[in-house]
């Protein structure tokens, strides 16, 4: 692991069942991976896009690093758990192939725990032995990882589809990707700059202007694009007209509003009452 990261954080993440890969990447079991194997339930990506939940790897190449500290984020941020580190002090990046192979090995280790579970669907378990999808979305801001396009290509060469989720604050990194993902998500969790500062707590200057630049270039992507809005009660659910203007500006393929869920380290920052009731 990167020397900038406190050992106590590493131990905390392991207890939270993060499977660390190299110095700065990780894989974690998605709730819907479990639900699919045990209860025959799937997430929206299966319903809308045909991505089978039990064949999906949830990973990040930038576990400890982000340009924002969003209140609603489930990840452990600097200052949580009485642990601090510089989220913008970037490491020497690991090789893309090492991350790709390490992520697959971590997934296989997670899957092995279901082999002897009598509740595991045997057919789905066999399918899960051959994962087909990568969600680059677990934690941190993936566009901080400089060879991100090469990592996406490494997964594509292994016949994976890829969903990339970004907060949009690094438009130059997105526009210079050497390979586009199968689908690109941009988190737009505020209708205006004031709400963005309050909700997303950017750690870099001109974050709102950078996000607006990303929305401007979104139509230039060949892959399907998604504008994702995490709605937090009493924080960012006003000014609906502002959101509508941003949708018009970005012209995404899809708009995905989702409710904030009171899970992970977000429970240190928000209350149960912040989950929308409708």
Q: Tell me the per-residue pLDDT of 3-29, one tens digit each, with 9 for 90 and over.
A: 678 899 999 999 999 999 999 999 999
| pLDDT of residue 165 exceeding 80 | yes
Q: Please tell me whether the overall predicted TM-score, pTM, comes out greater than 0.85 for this model.
A: yes
Query: Region 136-154: what's the mean pLDDT?
Result: 97
Q: What is the pLDDT of residue 3?
A: 63
Taking only the tens place, the pLDDT of each residue in 263-274 is: 989 999 999 999
3-state secondary structure of 78: strand
> What CATH number was assigned to the domain covering residues 7-274?
3.20.20.70
What is the DSSP annotation of 108-153? HHHHHTTTT-TTS-HHHHHHHTS--EEEE-SSS-GGGSTTHHHHHH
């Amino acid at each position: 692991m990167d020397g900038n990261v406190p050992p106590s954080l590493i131990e905390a993440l392991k207890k939270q069942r993060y499977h660390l890969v190299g110095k700065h990447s990780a894989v974690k079991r998605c709730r819907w991976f479990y639900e699919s194997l045990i209860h025959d339930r799937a997430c929206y990506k299966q319903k809308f896009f045909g991505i089978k939940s039990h064949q999906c790897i949830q990973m990040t190449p930038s576990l400890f690093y982000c340009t924002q500290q969003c209140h609603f984020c489930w990840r452990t941020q600097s200052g949580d758990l009485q642990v601090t580190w510089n989220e913008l002090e970037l490491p020497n990046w690991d090789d893309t192939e090492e991350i790709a192979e390490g992520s697959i090995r971590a997934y296989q280790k997670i899957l092995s725990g279901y082999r002897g579970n009598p509740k595991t669907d045997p057919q789905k378990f066999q399918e899960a032995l051959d994962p087909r999808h990568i969600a680059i979305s677990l934690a941190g801001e993936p566009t901080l990882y400089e060879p991100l396009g090469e990592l996406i290509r490494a997964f594509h060469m292994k016949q994976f589809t890829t969903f990339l989720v970004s907060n949009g604050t690094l438009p130059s990194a997105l526009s210079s990707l050497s390979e586009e993902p199968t689908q690109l998500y941009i988190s737009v969790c505020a209708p205006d700059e004031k709400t963005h500062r309050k909700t997303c707590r950017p750690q870099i200057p001109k974050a709102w202007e950078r996000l607006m630049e990303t929305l401007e270039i979104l139509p230039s992507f060949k892959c399907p694009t998604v504008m994702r809005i995490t709605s937090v009660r009493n924080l960012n659910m006003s000014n609906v007209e502002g959101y509508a203007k941003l949708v018009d500006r970005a012209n995404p393929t899809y708009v995905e509003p989702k409710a904030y869920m009171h899970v992970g380290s977000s429970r240190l920052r928000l209350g149960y009452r912040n989950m929308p009731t409708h």
